Amino acid sequence: MSALAGKVAIVTGASRGVGKGIALALAEQGATVYVTGRTVQAGVHPLPGTVGDTAAEVDRRGGRGIAVQVDHRDDAQIAALFEQVRREQGRLDILVNSAMSIPQEMTRRMGFWEKPLSNWEIFDTGVRAAFIAAWHAAQIMVPQKSGLIVALSGYVGVTYTYDTIFGTTKTATDRMARDMAIELKPYNVASLSMWQGFTFTELARENLKTVPGMASQLNTAAGSSAEFPGRVIAALARDARIMEKTGGTFISAELAREYAITDIDGRVIPTLRAERGAPIWQPV
């Protein structure tokens, strides 16, 4: 039997990119995965991928994929997602908050005062929407006295990367995951944040081709596939001692070594702790 058979997961922002990769990695362990995102029709987004495409691939990988159109800027749509999961499954085991808006200006080498104020949507989707999703998830997980909430973050939480709002978002993400863990710990629900390094998503590959100087700013040799963080999260979800990690911020490459996980091509992804910084928050 697959290790996560019978487990129910929500992965936000999974039409493409890291969210899609995580959904597929959980599928390979047999999980039922609710795939959320805004894109339901091919061709309406400049990059390929829809929630339906991801859900279909989840099925092919051995899990059960359920596509749900959700704009994570809309509180009512987030609430409806969790009500659907409660109604259809009666439980929720894993929430991965991956959704985050990435405006075109985020990777441009400009001052924050030169970028539109609308770029604050990075924070709204990366922190506010993640809080709302965790709020709903906790109302399912606390009564069942089990669950795992993972927030996607990165070295940008302590080291400047691209953009002021981006860094602020990820620093807040780490702190929020830690403080949630303090309140959830008595109920055996784990909350942690995970630092993912450079990831070869569809958008990242496009940016490497089109954003001046981007390749020189990054250690792309240390980059991973979009499925690598999902492999790590699947191991966390299988870990019977997960509560020992709750409240901490972890580097995905370091967790991968602990769990003897490689990327999909067999590579061992290196930690960039020495080059880019160390997490602040330890388990509670």
Token pair in block for residue 6: 């019978």
Query: Residue 87 CB: number of other CB atoms within 10 A?
Result: 8
Confidence check: pLDDT of 104 > 90:
no
Quick check: is 282 in a domain? no
pLDDT tens column, 193-227: 999 988 886 665 665 556 565 555 555 567 899 99
Q: Domain for residue 238, yes or no?
A: yes
pLDDT surpasses 90 at 78: yes
Confidence of residue 149 (pLDDT cuts 50, 70, 90): very high
pLDDT of 202 reads 62
Residue 283 lies in a domain: no
Q: Confidence class of residue 177 from pLDDT cuts 50, 70 and 90?
A: very high
Residue 284 has pLDDT above 80, yes or no: yes
Q: How confident is the model at residue 134, as a pLDDT?
A: 98
pLDDT of residue 223: 86
Domain at 34, CATH number: 3.40.50.720
Predicted pLDDT of residue 107: 85
Domain count, the chain: 1
Range 50-72 average pLDDT: 96
In whole angstroms, what is the distance from residue 56 CA to residue 101 CA? 24
**What proportion of the chain, given as a percentage, has pLDDT over 70?**
90
Buried b (16+ CB within 10 A) or exposed e, 245-265: bbbbbbbbbbbbeeeebebee
Whole-prediction pTM value? 0.92
**Residue 146 exposed, middle or buried by CB count within 10 Å (0-12, 13-18, 19+):** middle
Q: What HEC string does 185-214 produce?
A: HHHCEEEEEEECCCECCHHHHHHHHHCCCH
Would you say residue 3 lies in a domain? no
Assigned domain for 1 exists: no
**Which domain, by its residues, includes 81?**
8-276
Query: What percentage of the chain carries pLDDT values higher than 90?
Result: 81
Q: Annotate the chain with DSSP letters as a single string.
A: --TTTT-EEEESS-SSHHHHHHHHHHHTTT-EEEEEES--STTSSSS---HHHHHHHHHHTTSEEEEEE--TT-HHHHHHHHHHHHHHHS---EEEE------GGGGSS--GGGS-GGGGHHHIIIIIHHHHHHHHHHHHHHHHT-EEEEEEE-GGGTS--S-HHHHHHHHHHHHHHHHHHHHHGGGTEEEEEEE---B--HHHHHHHHHSTTHHHHS-GGG-B-TTHHHHHHHHHHH-TTGGGTTT-EEEHHHHHHHTT---TTS--PPP-HHHH---SPPP-
- 2 within domain boundaries: no
User: Which pLDDT value is given to residue 58?
Assistant: 98
- 48 occurs within a structural domain: yes
pLDDT of residue 155: 95
